[in-house]
Amino acid sequence: MHVLVTGGAGFIGSHTVVALLERGHDVTIADDFDNSSPEVINRIEQITGIRPALAEVDLRDEEAFDAAFATTAPDAVIHFAGLKSVGESSIDPLRYYEHNLSSTFSLLNAMKKHGVRTLVFSSSATVYGEGQEPPYGEDGGPLDANNPYGMTKVMLERILSDVADAEPGWHIALLRYFNPIGAHESGLIGEDPKGVPNNLVPYVLQVAIGRRPHVSIYGDDYPTADGTGERDYIHIADLAEGHVAALEKIVAIEGARAWNLGTGQGTSVKQLIAAVESASGIRIPAVIAPRRAGDLPRSWADTSRAEAELGWRATRDIADMARDGWRWQSQNPRGFDSVD
Ligand code: WQD
């Protein structure tokens, strides 16, 4: 298939583009490089030997995006483009609602206009909110989120489901990611957050590479094995393969349907820090800090639906994630800005 990947120069997008190309699909990336680097396109070509086509466009510019969509004429879309910082969304909620909703409306209008109705949507485990206990199942109860970023995902899942219910011919996969970490085994692409990383693993890797003095552990008094928060970390390569599996399955499924993409295992902050120390051979200084508002004690996926319906499950473990994440960080100390 010819797949349009919005946000395809981002962390999850770029790894999914590699997986699509290696699977034999054609890819066009739509990205405005607002939160990513054009260097990623070069790295994708280095990895796969194929340079994906590029539409440098902001999805919110409806006219420009519609023109790019018409030129691309894709068979399907994987939609990553959007703002994704939980913390930032609480500081500037209007920017998050405007950006994530309007870019998706622009995409859906272009898809309807040009008769394309196969979509894989980037959702998040954050839609499970605080009301449920892990393992989280896709039909475990009403969706909710305790931050504006997560609410954009709750709203967009509902909008996409309503569109699929109202109009025949839509095939929509709603993929709820847990915590994607690690990097492609080549070390050529990986997570490159702008500014101070909000998430644990990129922060720990920057400590290991010497860019940060220590990591703060947000609370060690949770009701967990070692008192620190437990999360379902999934290797970015497994996540990318999950997108390809969902794309190839959703073409035969009418309507909208959600799947968790996780491992079903919880790993604590301390365990993750130890895994990076083991992979890098570097001691990671850590200080105990107060809990972070909104953090859950534990979160992990019920992976049974994705295994049964997509024929997909994660195969890489925490040691693989730490090893591949460290290779990316040590080969790219300043991320894609390392390029002189
Ligand atoms: C993981 C654990 C923290 C940083 C978020 C989003 C989620 C998804 C993934 C988009 C927690 C602890 C963290 C630090 C720490 N993103 N921590 N020190 O919060 O589980 O999920 O990113 O879809 O939507 O909510 O990930 O990496 O921020 O935190 O102790 O400097 O690490 O308390 O237990 P989180 P995280």
Q: Which atom of ligand 1 is the closest one to the Cα of 124?
A: 23
Q: Which two tokens stand for residue 319?
A: 């040691």
In angstroms, what is the span from residue 277 Cα to ligand 1's centroid? 19
pLDDT given for residue 298 in this prediction: 96
Looking at residue 340, what is its pLDDT? 43
Could you tell me if the CB of 199 is within 6 A of ligand 1? yes
For the chain, the three-class secondary structure string (H helix, E strand, C coil) is CEEEEECCCCHHHHHHHHHHHHCCCEEEEEECCCCCCCHHHHHHHHHHCCCCEEEECCCCCHHHHHHHHHHHCCCEEEECCCCCCHHHHHHCHHHHHHHHHHHHHHHHHHHHHCCCCEEEEEEEHHHECCCCCCCECCCCCCCECCCHHHHHHHHHHHHHHHHHHHCCCCEEEEEEECEEECCCCCCCCCCCCCCCCCCHHHHHHHHHCCCCCCEEEECCCCCCCCCCCEECEEEHHHHHHHHHHHHHHHCCCCEEEEEEECCCCCEEHHHHHHHHHHHHCCCCCEEEECCCCCCCCECCECCHHHHHHHCCCCCCCHHHHHHHHHHHHHHCCCHHHHCC
Tell me the two tokens of residue 204: 């720990």
322 strand-pairing partners: none
CATH superfamily placement of domain 2-183+233-264+301-314: NAD(P)-binding Rossmann-like Domain (3.40.50.720)
- pLDDT value, residue 337: 85
Determine the distance separating the centroid of ligand 1 and the alpha carbon of 190, expressed in angstroms: 17
Q: Are 280 and 325 in contact (CB under 8 A)?
A: no
pLDDT, tens only, 51-80: 999 999 999 999 999 999 999 999 999 999
Task: Indicate whether residue 25 lines ligand 1 (CB < 6 A).
Answer: no
Which residue lies with its CA nearest to atom 18 of ligand 1? 217
Ligand 1 atom closest to residue 292's alpha carbon, by position in its atom list: 33
Protein residue with least CA distance to atom 8, ligand 1: 179
| 215 Cβ inside 6 Å of ligand 1 | yes
* CA-153 nearest atom, ligand 1: 23
Distance of CA 222 to the CA centre of its chain: 26
Check pocket membership of 181 for ligand 1, CB cut-off 6 A: no
- Protein residue with its CA nearest to atom 21 in ligand 1: 179
Q: How far out from the chain centre does Cα 102 lie?
A: 19
Residue nearest (by alpha carbon) to ligand 1 atom 26: 199
What are the residue numbers of the active site?
A: 149
Verify whether ligand 1 is closer than 6 Å to residue 148 (CB atom). no
Which is nearest to 118 in space by CA: 256, 324, 284, 315?
A: 256
How close is the Cα of 235 to the center of ligand 1, in Å?
Answer: 15
- For ligand 1, the distance from its centroid to the CA atom of residue 252, given in whole angstroms, is 35
Question: Which mean pLDDT values do the consecutive 10-residue runs of the chain (340 residues) have?
Answer: 98 98 98 96 98 98 98 98 94 97 98 98 95 92 93 98 97 98 98 94 98 98 97 98 98 97 98 98 98 95 98 98 98 81
State pLDDT tens for residues 111-132: 999 999 999 999 999 999 888 8
Q: In this structure, is the dihedral angle defined by the CA atoms of residues 154, 156, 159 and 165, taken in order, positive or negative?
A: negative
Domain residue extents for the chain: 2-183+233-264+301-314
- Please name the residue whose Cα sits nearest to atom 32 of ligand 1: 200
Q: Which two structure tokens, joined as six digits, stand for 150?
A: 């997560």
